[in-house]
């Protein structure tokens, strides 16, 4: 055990030195400027990384057996690896984060599914979900959640890690970010085909489901606020930059209010529905869910470039996801500098042999469209299901992206 602690202290010492690098302060300035719609230059981020494919030098190999120390080791090793090899505009927080542990009674359902795995070390797998909401009676099983903060378990982690590395690297309790997606949740309880068919054939039934799930999210978020469980200073919000000059505003040290943090919504399965249907079945509910939040980020993998006008109904909207399946030229022209674009380059670029010419063309089109229309934006390479077991794909992607944005 002493050997594990000594090894973890060495990692913490190395991390603390990296976190003190002035690049972190500069990157904070860049991130905030993007979200304030006063961009200095585009921000580049890389997230959701298949680290299991990248351990070419053994520096990602874990040695701690103690589960709490092993989690800390995993965090530090991954952050240091990325900082060394493909940092882009990442920010290393000057502390080790211990996220507050919560429990929830849920909504009355648990996911029932069949899965298929291609790479046993990859957490991205295929899912076949069982339909649990086919009839009206099943919808009545919905109930509102009861959220509790497990302070004892949280402090056990905090104290254990702090006793080992706290004198080298501060250990900080961190809260949660908002994640409110009616249809991501419903798709896991229904499956894709029944959900999409019933939007057409049984709209009243789907409205009943949406209403129940919206009430669930409203209650969940309200309880997080009452329990003081939102994170007051998030650096990122599901991979995109979160820093800005608006939030949290005046903070008195009490429970963090929703008005002091980002709200986040999406409807990924609605990539396959019309704008009118998207508005009716998601935006109508999302307006109520997002209203209490200070700023709102909407979208994930669904293409939204032709739906910007309905998104404008969402209160406090600040940032919109524009994915590889959206038309960046159209999105940039419609959005301009009214909102921030969270641009998502195509992650398949790094899954095999990187085509550098194609990458320059893809990123160049994004940069040109956003420059032409005065957009503030970040470029986030995420959802990387594979890097082709070659770290050089990510290294070169980062180098090319940074070269292009620095000459923006």
pLDDT for 120 equals: 73
Residues 6+ apart with CB under 8 A from 397: 46, 86, 349, 350, 354, 359, 381
Spatial CA neighbour of 323 closest among 217, 239, 236 = 239
**What's the domain range around 213?**
2-406
Q: Which residues of the chain register pLDDT less than 50?
A: none
CATH number assigned to the domain comprising residue 64: 3.20.20.210
pLDDT for 355 equals: 98
pLDDT for 137 equals: 92
Task: Please tell me whether residue 65 adopts helix, strand or coil conformation.
Answer: coil
How many residues does this entry show for the chain? Answer: 408
Residues 6+ apart with CB under 8 A from 120: none
Interval 92-138: pLDDT, tens: 999 999 999 999 999 999 988 888 877 777 777 788 899 999 999 99
Into how many domains does the chain fold? Answer: 1
pTM given for the model: 0.96
pLDDT for 264 equals: 98
pLDDT for 114 equals: 84
pLDDT for 113 equals: 81
């Amino acid at each position: 055990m002493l050997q594990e602690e000594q090894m973890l202290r060495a990692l913490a010492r190395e991390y603390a030195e990296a976190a003190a690098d002035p690049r972190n302060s500069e990157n904070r300035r860049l991130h905030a400027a993007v979200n304030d719609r006063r961009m200095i230059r585009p921000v580049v981020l890389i997230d959701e990384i298949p680290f299991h494919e990248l351990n070419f030098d053994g520096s990602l190999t874990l040695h701690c057996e103690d589960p709490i120390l092993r989690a800390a080791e995993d965090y530090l090793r991954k952050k240091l690896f990325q900082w060394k090899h493909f940092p882009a505009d990442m920010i290393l927080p000057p502390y080790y984060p211990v996220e507050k542990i919560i429990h929830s009674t849920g909504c009355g359902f648990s996911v029932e599914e069949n899965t298929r795995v291609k790479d046993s070390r990859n957490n991205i797998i295929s899912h076949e979900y069982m339909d649990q909401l086919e009839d009206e009676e099943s919808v009545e099983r919905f109930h509102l959640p009861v959220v509790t903060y497990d302070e004892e378990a949280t402090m056990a982690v905090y104290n254990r890690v702090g006793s080992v590395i706290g004198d080298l690297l501060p250990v900080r309790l961190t809260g949660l970010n908002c994640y409110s997606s009616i249809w991501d949740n419903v798709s896991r309880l229904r499956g894709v085909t029944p959900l999409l068919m019933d939007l057409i054939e049984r709209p009243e039934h789907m409205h009943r489901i949406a209403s129940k799930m919206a009430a669930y999210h409203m209650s969940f978020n309200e309880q997080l606020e009452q329990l003081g469980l939102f994170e007051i200073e998030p650096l990122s919000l599901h991979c995109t930059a979160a820093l800005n000059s608006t939030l949290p505003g005046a903070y008195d040290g009490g429970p963090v209010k929703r008005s002091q943090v980002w709200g986040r919504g999406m409807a990924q399965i609605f990539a396959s529905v019309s704008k009118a249907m998207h508005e009716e079945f998601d935006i109508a509910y999302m307006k109520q869910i997002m209203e209490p939040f200070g700023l709102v980020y909407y979208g994930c993998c669904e293409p939204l470039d032709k739906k910007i006008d309905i998104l404008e109904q969402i209160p406090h909207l600040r940032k919109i996801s524009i994915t590889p399946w959206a038309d960046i030229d159209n999105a940039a022209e419609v959005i301009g500098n009214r909102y921030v674009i969270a641009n998502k380059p195509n992650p398949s670029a790094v899954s095999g042999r990187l085509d550098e010419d194609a990458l320059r063309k893809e990123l160049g089109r994004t940069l040109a469209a956003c420059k032409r229309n005065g957009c503030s934006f970040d470029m986030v390479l995420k959802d990387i299901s594979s890097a082709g077991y070659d770290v050089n794909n990510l290294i070169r992607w980062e180098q090319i992206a940074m070269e292009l944005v620095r000459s923006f």
